Amino acid sequence: MSASRRSSRDVAAEITDLIIRKLEEGVPPWSRPWRCSGAGGRPLRHCGTPYTGINTLYLWALGDAMGYRSRFWMTYRQAEALGANVRRGETGAISVYYSSFKKTEEHPETGKEVEKNIRFLRHYVVFNADQIDALPAYFYAPEEPETPVEPSTRQAAIDAFFDAIPADVRHGGNQAYFTPTFDHIQMPSRTSFRSMDLYASTRCHETVHWSGHSDRLARTFGKRFGDKAYAFEELVAEIGAGLCCADLGLPNVLHDRHASYVGHWLGILRGDKTAIIHAAAKAEQAFAYLKSFGSAAAEGECHEDDAPAPALAA
């Protein structure tokens, strides 16, 4: 089925409605006990390339809601090409991306013809591997015991991630925050946390805030969201922390101080159906920025940018 025949589907509203429902249930789709196997980590295309932007959040949320264990999603034709078939009666999810076209129109003041680039949201339908029969075995999550992973087994990756980021991190007191005025992250001492995993997940949140400083990514939302701009920045930081935690195999929980923003987030999402798409794109940008500090050490690895992907732009 072509994208044009599905154009009546309000994909932004569908995505936002699902995110709102998950927030109302107290389960933000970017905040859950991540695991490196099974349904943990980012959703993947049939070729193994991770989804990005709002597609990550939407497929996480839908996968949780439907109880899917596989990380893989693909179109009907991609399943057929693999010798598999989508089970009768299964409903597909949507994977979205921005497309654009050029339009020539008359300038209202000069009367001259000017060319404008018009961006619009497009989508295609994908199915989780759990909805598909006869795929190769690696598409399905293996049955394995739910055993906790000791923090020490991840500590090298955690240290490598944070050590590469040139943020000024100070320890002391009983609060975690980033101060834009003095440009440093303040964290309680490591021994104040129940585990090093929770310390790292909290630091992820604050480091995403650090990325938005005016000397770095310069995130500002004042014009669009007014007095809710700070709550929107907290939403970006929560989503960004979820992406960092997924990448590091860390649990990511909605901390009490951040949970107070849930009501504000719901208000923003209900008032602007594209807000969550904007937030996800900004969080993705922050995550990529933080990961870039360690890119020299990972030179030569296969990255998502090596393959074409319908990633959602900001």
User: pLDDT digit string (tens) for 216-234?
Assistant: 999 988 666 667 788 889 8
| Pairwise pLDDT comparison (218 vs 12), residue with the higher score | 218
Give kind and range of the element (H or E) at residue 114: strand 113-128
Looking at residue 98, its pLDDT comes to 66
Q: Are 25 and 92 in the same domain?
A: yes
Q: Which residues of 135-150 are buried (b: 16+ CB within 10 A; e: fewer)?
A: beeebbbeeeeeeeee
Q: What is the pLDDT of residue 266?
A: 85
Q: How many domains does the chain have?
A: 2
Amino acid 104: pLDDT: 74
DSSP 86-115: EPTTPPPEEEEEEEEEEEEEE-TTT--EEE
In this structure, are 99 and 234 located in the same domain? no
pLDDT at 252: 66
Domain that holds residue 42: 1-30+37-144
304 inside domain: no
pLDDT score of 134: 96
Q: pLDDT category, 105, cuts 50, 70, 90?
A: confident
User: Is there a single domain that holds both residue 77 and residue 157?
Assistant: no
At which of 93, 115, 144 does a domain end?
A: 144
Do 283 and 263 lie in a common domain? yes
Both 190 and 123 in one domain: the answer is no
Distance CA 125, CA 137 (A): 23
**What pLDDT score does 191 carry?**
79
Res. 1: pLDDT tops 80: no
- Pairing state of beta strands 169-171 and 184-187? parallel
Residue 306 included in any domain: no
The answer on 278 and 232 residing in a single domain is yes
What is the C-alpha to C-alpha distance for residues 221 and 182, in angstroms, rounded to an integer?
20
**Is the predicted pLDDT of residue 123 greater than 90, yes or no?**
no
Residue the block writes with tokens 């709102």:
20
- Of the three residues 144, 173, 189, the one that is the final residue of a domain is 144
- Alpha-carbon dihedral of residues 61, 65, 67, 72, nearest 10 degrees? -30
- Asked if 27 contacts 237 with a C-beta cutoff of 8 angstroms, the reply is no
255-292 residue pLDDT tens: 555 555 677 888 888 888 999 999 999 999 999 999 99
- Tell whether 310 is covered by a domain: no
- The answer to whether residues 140 and 14 belong to one domain is yes
Gap between the Cα atoms of 140 and 71, Å rounded: 8
Residue 308 lies in a domain: no
- Residues 91 and 198 both lie in one domain: no
The pLDDT of residue 34: 37
Task: Please choose, from the candidates 176, 184, 172, 182, the residue with its C-alpha nearest in 3D space to the C-alpha of residue 203.
Answer: 176
Boundary residue ending a domain (110, 144, 178):
144
Asked whether residue 216 falls in the same domain as residue 104, the answer is no
| Chain position carrying tokens 């604050």 | 206
Q: Identify whether 96 is part of a domain.
A: yes
Q: Residue 303 above 50 pLDDT?
A: no
Q: Please tell me the distance from the alpha carbon of residue 291 to that of residue 303, in angstroms, as a whole number.
A: 11
Which residue has better confidence, 189 or 252? 189
Q: What is the mean pLDDT of residues 70-98?
A: 92
Size of the chain, expressed as the number of residues it contains: 314
Closest CA to 42 of 239, 265, 271: 239
pLDDT of residue 153: 73
Residues 266 and 248 in one domain: yes
Same domain, 79 and 175: no
Residue 120 has pLDDT above 90, yes or no: no
Convert the pLDDT of each residue in 180-221 to its tens digit: 889 999 998 887 787 888 889 889 999 999 999 999 999 988
User: In this model, does residue 108 exceed pLDDT 50?
Assistant: yes
CA 227 – CA 130 distance, rounded (Å): 43
201 assigned to some structural domain: yes
In a domain, 303, yes or no: no
- The verdict on residue 65 lying in a domain is yes
299: pLDDT strictly greater than 60: no
- 16-64, pLDDT tens digit by residue? 898 888 777 666 777 643 343 444 578 999 999 999 988 888 888 888 7
Reduced to 3 states, what is the DSSP secondary structure of residue 43?
coil
pLDDT digits 0-9 by tens, 148-185: 555 657 889 999 999 999 999 998 877 788 988 899 99
pLDDT at 129: 96
Q: Give residue 259's pLDDT.
A: 56
Dihedral of CA atoms 142, 22, 132, 140 in degrees, nearest 10, equals -10
The whole-number average pLDDT for the span 83-107 is 82
Instruction: Identify whether residues 15 and 133 lie together within a single domain.
Output: yes
Give CA–CA dist 225/216, Å, rounded: 21
User: What is the Cα–Cα distance from 129 to 203, expressed in whole angstroms?
Assistant: 34
